[in-house]
Amino acid sequence: MDKKVIYTETAPKAIGPYSQAVLVGDLLFVSGQIPLDPETMTIVSDDVKVQTHQVLKNLQAILAEADMSFNNVVKTTVFIKDMNDFAAINEVYAEYFTTTKPARACVEVARLPKDVKVEIELIAHK
């Protein structure tokens, strides 16, 4: 199996024992990203839209490191703290997935790392 760890300074460092992403053949598995500023490693805002933008920017940076873009994404999983934020998160999400829309699951969870409001993981294909 051809497995390569993907890492970029332009996305937050892992806050646990995991990689930002792992490339296996033509598939890229990107770990869940939360709204951390990659430079300060702090949460960007309490606003769910600002948090969602940062999460997607972090994902975009990891995709770019693997020479991919949102057009390569085939599946996302969105974890949200409050389903009442679904419309706001969806609005921001739609700004990043403009042409090819991936399959997606969205679930409300009891708690996310650092008590953020949104986390997104994805799978992309080269």
pLDDT of residue 27: 98
Give Cβ neighbours of residue 48 (< 8 Å, ≥ 6 apart).
85, 88, 89, 117, 118
**Could you give the number of structural domains in the chain?**
1
Domain containing residue 54: 3-125
Residue with tokens 């300074």: 9
Which residues form the catalytic set?
Answer: 106
List C-alpha distances in Å: 6 to 11, 69, 89, 123: 11, 14, 26, 13
Task: Render each residue's pLDDT in the chain as its tens digit; 126 residues.
Answer: 789 999 999 999 998 999 999 999 999 999 999 999 999 999 999 999 999 999 999 999 999 999 999 999 999 999 999 999 999 999 999 999 999 899 999 999 999 999 999 999 999 999
CATH number at residue 26: 3.30.1330.40
